[in-house]
Structure 1
Amino acid sequence: MAVEDIDYSAELILVVDDEEMIREIVCEMFGHLGLKSHAVGSGKEALVELKKERPYTFLLTDISMPVMNGVDLIKKVRKKYPKICTIAMTGHSREYKYIDVVNAGAMDFINKPLGIEELEAKVRRGIIERNIREKLNRMSITDSLTGLYNQRHFYTTLKYEVIRAERQKYKLGLILLDLDNFKYFNDTYGHLAGDELLQKVGEIIEVNIRKGVDSGYRYGGDEFAI
């Protein structure tokens, strides 16, 4: 992804610092960059704010704070909100090493006083790395030919859904299907035609399942599951 292609509109940053002036300066910087942000004064306040389920995508937190320091906050956020990208900041560069905050779960580290260009670069890097991870994750669970989920994700989801159905005591439906005489079709019309047929079946499954309720899979060569 080129730098120019990055869209900031979906980003929401939670700024955590015990100094009000720092919070105001950082939020003003983000405003100049076209980024939405909200600031709180402590790690405990940050955890309360995150429970409100606002769509935060970034956490920018000071390291040296009373009661709950930034490293402890990063660990808690990493565990409970793993999709949030975290950047640590401090004015005491010798107090914490880069490896300490990275091991805690932060994706990057920035020293005070903050510069707007460096701050933007850190956020851009976080967005790019997050998008790459999400793309790789989608690729790892998606069948490249049909666009349906693949066999690997089928087994993972099936195990989870069986456990959930047993716990919540509801019925679970599973449909397994394959294409009759697919080998004959492939041999007669060629593999490209066979691929087109599989893609068409994938499209039919995708448009007919309930969004957010059912899920479609290419289980094998010409085998599918819903």
Structure 2
Amino acid sequence: MIHQPIILVVDDEPNNIEMLAGMLDDQYELRFAVSAQEALTAIKEMPKPDLILLDVMLPDMNGYAICERIKEDPATADIPIIFVTSLGDPEQEEKGFAVGGADYIVKPCRALSIKARIRNQLEMKRTRELLHRLAITDGLTSLANRRHFDEALKQEMQRLQRQGGQLSLVLIDVDFFKRFNDYYGHPAGDECLRRIAAVIATELRRPADLTARIGGEEFACLLPETSLAGAYIVAERIRQTVLSLKMPHQSSTISDYVTVSVGVATSSGTEAAHLYQRADIQLYIAKTSGRNCVVQDVALV
């Protein structure tokens, strides 16, 4: 089924709601709110709206203030907002753009005009989302890239310091990967990395977990609210599943097949760099103590 874009219409006048519904309900999934409080609640629902049509004059808060609230929240700041209002003077229009509105339409609305403006905003939103995904995605494996990982680690550490809890980091390195590339060629090496990435992505099932390719043959798993014991289980499962793929590796000195070494560390409030350093130390120990194994940190900082 093709997903219809979701539009939230915020207006306290039944005639206006009926008019907009008649114009748009054949192309979009419409939701409605008749007050600021209803609107702010509705945008938190999942899936969140793709676009908001917002009246300025509402009983409990004006539309400009609502727009500011929406744009201040990182979770909703990317939703385009089109003001649809009877306030047609230039000062009001300028204020609408100043608080983050994407467009400003004066009632009464012509169907062709409002449909065209909605299409333009949705197309621009799709383009921005595509560019953002490309900027944070590893082109070979489709996992998060190093840039995305670094930012996510920083944000998770900030959350940890505010709220407490635990954060685990798993670092994974493909054993003797340079030898693999030299023996089988770079196209085979790329396919090897893609298969390992698929294993990692499959083993991490929670929406909050992040999988990333952070180097040539190095991967990372960021596991919020996960204990050291829990992270070790995930890491060992990844190691075993990679081995079970039985990808031949004639140049390896430890196995006939491709293997990985894994380091695990958990934090309850240290700096991001410290957590990464500790996981990296465990990865180094795994690589220097035989490879094809998981080594976990002994301390919880």
The residue aligned with 1:46 is 36
| Structure 1, gaps ≥5 residues long | 1-6
What residue identity is the alignment partner of 2:51?
F
RMSD over aligned Cα, in angstroms? 2.5
DSSP 3-state at the match of 1:83: coil
Counterparts in 2 of 1:180-191, with a 5 A limit? 180-191=175-186
Task: Give how far 1:185 is off.
Answer: 1.8
Question: CA deviation digits over 1:20-42, x for unaligned, max 9?
Answer: 433332233223545423141xx
Please state if 1:29 is matched with 2:29: no
The residue aligned with 1:131 is 126
CA 1:161–1:121 in structure 2 vs 1: closer, same or farther (change >3 Å)?
A: same
What residue identity is the alignment partner of 1:219?
I
Task: Give how far 1:71 is off.
Answer: 2.5
Q: Distance in 1 between matches of 2:209 and 2:70?
A: 30
| Structure 2, gaps ≥5 residues long | 222-301
- Normalised TM-score (structure 2): 0.63
Instruction: Report % sequence identity.
Output: 33
Question: CA deviation digits over 1:34-61, x for unaligned, max 9?
Answer: 5423141xxxx22334225334332212
The residue aligned with 1:3 is none
Question: CA deviation digits over 1:43-88, x for unaligned, max 9?
Answer: xx22334225334332212335677433233222222331332101
What residue identity is the alignment partner of 1:62?
D
**Structure (1 or 2) with the larger CA radius of gyration:** 2
The residue aligned with 2:169 is 174
Choose which of 92, 109, 112 in structure 2 pairs with 1:117. 112
Q: Which moved more, 1:47-56 or 1:104-113?
A: 47-56
Task: Give how far 1:117 is off.
Answer: 1.3
Contact 2:211–2:219 (Cα < 8 Å) also in 1: yes
Count of aligned positions: 215
Question: CA deviation digits over 1:111-131, x for unaligned, max 9?
Answer: 221011111112211221111
The residue aligned with 1:70 is 63
Q: Distance in 2 between matches of 1:69 and 1:61?
A: 10
